[in-house]
Structure 1
């Protein structure tokens, strides 16, 4: 069986992780602003178009990417490029209220980030932003017939990982998800898989209660030095979602990786855009989505063997990732 993983693809030298040439990037990388009239909210997006399709002639699958606290639509570029090269239409969302604007607050970055993450409106806006983006992709005439919305995935880092697990069903205690009079049904069944980079353990509920409704498979990626920046999460805490969620999943723990290792935020400084772990994370993501969305047995086998990892990394899998 041809998995598409050649020396020029996932398992080889990964040339798609380098920045695209300017001429190609201009055609394949779109900056737009989407308006949600119900909330009076503008959502900046970056759309990366696929180079090739997993199935020639078929509609493209979709990946929604959600940045961490203080991030932007420019973040997670390494992951967006990898998924676009793997055939996804990738939509990077920028969440006002918990984006890079927080870092320019007069209160100072540390205080402003803490205030942002404690404001429940910012958390809810993230969830509504994702739901609105899925609505918009189905609604815009330009995408009609070009997207495989039955193969939609969501990925995010830190606060974005929080967004991933909540869109897939993690409980929100004491919060009525009514927004502007519009109910938000979670889990969002349009999302078939998730990728949580620096997963966030539940804060207000026991883990089993918090994750009881999560049924979509999730790839959890963390590091041995992935301690919290705003919260007090330890590297061990970040494995709690994987070990608690009953659905099939994968946990990868990369040796030496810190919380900043996965962000890919160029404007935030070198620490937040250091590429050491980007290639491994992107490989894991592409293999995982091929396994769970296309039931690719070869991809599942590579994941289970940890074929793309470095010495000192470890990987755990549970449940059936492919062949269902």
Structure 2
């Protein structure tokens, strides 16, 4: 008997999604270092559907975490392959903060974890889409450059937030960093970071001393996903709802998907059977995969009903989570 999805997925299977098609994965695709803070080439993985044209693009920014491999182009297969199997081309950079590269000690003063470089990595990929498409066998001529989204998990969600319009004001210098990317039409923020200032714990101020987010300028439409059990005392004094701040503090249109019982791994978005995923669950992951795909589909394809169908289905599946929305339309930029 063939299963169309993991046999342990039950309720989440009621969230509608089209039949998957085989995907192809190409890596490493290497872009020369250019003006990165250290002389390390930008390595990418491209995951794409094996057929279809006019394909929308999702830039996927990895988080940190304790693993040696997942925080790189080798992680996040559960998201990249699921999205690609349903029509998206997913491009994953290995940022300079990756344990895979082991160069975080070389970060310039004020750029801990190369936080500014990460945002620039994503814009650089968009600058060189012709190079990317030409390098991947069978991908040339299949991309729709007018349909671009950005997604990120954990610290990668902060990177994605900046492309969506959020600014960072370094509390040490009051310097503002702006990385708004007008080519990006929508975003998905998974277990992202929340408000700064007094909400940052003592250990958090040591880990991310540069962090001073301003979500009030994040106007691009986004889906914020967080687990209601994702307590992160190493970063914040707040409870799990800190991770919902990009929804609460940003202007609409924004959407919030609260994952019931979810912790920072959201069921396993960074990789299957990962030791750092405290809430490993094919069911929970299945819900995240389906809801994020539906949101991206409807945001990038005018008139598409995938999100409304998914939202309606989730309404009868309270054990998986809830959705709320604010603002209307598809306004972008600022």
What TM-score range do you get, normalising by the shorter chain?
0.7 to 0.9
Q: 1:189 to 1:138 in 2, by over 3 A?
A: farther
Q: 1:321 to 1:80 in 2, by over 3 A?
A: farther
Structure holding more helix per residue: 1
What residue in structure 2 maps to residue 90 of structure 1?
Answer: 90
CA distance in 2, matches of 1:209, 1:65: 20
**Cα-Cα RMSD:** 3.5
Q: 1:318 to 1:304 in 2, by over 3 A?
A: farther
Q: Does 1:197 align with 2:211?
A: no
Query: 1:117-136 alignment to 2 at 5 Å?
Result: 119-120=111-112, 122-136=114-128
What residue in structure 2 maps to residue 180 of structure 1?
Answer: none
Q: Secondary structure at the match of 1:260?
A: coil
Q: Secondary structure at the match of 1:45?
A: strand
What residue in structure 1 maps to residue 157 of structure 2?
Answer: 161
What residue in structure 1 maps to residue 208 of structure 2?
Answer: none
Q: Secondary structure at the match of 1:153?
A: strand
Q: Does 1:281 align with 2:288?
A: yes
Residue 52 (structure 1) shift:
4.3
Q: Secondary structure at the match of 1:31?
A: strand
What residue in structure 2 maps to residue 269 of structure 1?
Answer: 275
Residue 277 (structure 1) shift:
1.8
CA distance in 2, matches of 1:85, 1:315: 24
Residue 125 (structure 1) shift:
1.6
CA distance in 1, matches of 2:142, 2:281: 34
Residue 85 (structure 1) shift:
1.6
Residue 276 (structure 1) shift:
3.6
Q: Does 1:318 align with 2:326?
A: yes
CA contact (8 A) 1:226 1:257 kept: yes
Residue 290 (structure 1) shift:
1.8
CA contact (8 A) 1:82 1:282 kept: yes
Q: 1:309 to 1:138 in 2, by over 3 A?
A: farther
What residue in structure 1 maps to residue 3 of structure 2?
Answer: none
Mark the runs of 5 or more structure 2 residues left unpaired by the alignment.
1-12, 66-70, 200-211
What residue in structure 1 maps to residue 5 of structure 2?
Answer: none
CA distance in 2, matches of 1:205, 1:149: 40
Give the structure-1-normalised TM-score.
0.76
Q: Does 1:66 align with 2:61?
A: yes
CA contact (8 A) 1:52 1:85 kept: no
1:242 to 241, 247, 261: 247
Q: 1:15 to 1:294 in 2, by over 3 A?
A: closer
CA contact (8 A) 2:62 2:156 kept: yes
CA contact (8 A) 1:249 1:321 kept: no
Q: Secondary structure at the match of 1:172?
A: strand
Q: Does 1:252 align with 2:257?
A: yes
Mark the runs of 5 or more structure 1 residues left unpaired by the alignment.
1-8, 106-111, 178-184
What residue in structure 2 maps to residue 108 of structure 1?
Answer: none
Residue 187 (structure 1) shift:
0.9
Residue 10 (structure 1) shift:
9.1
CA distance in 1, matches of 2:329, 2:229: 28
Give the structure-2-normalised TM-score.
0.73
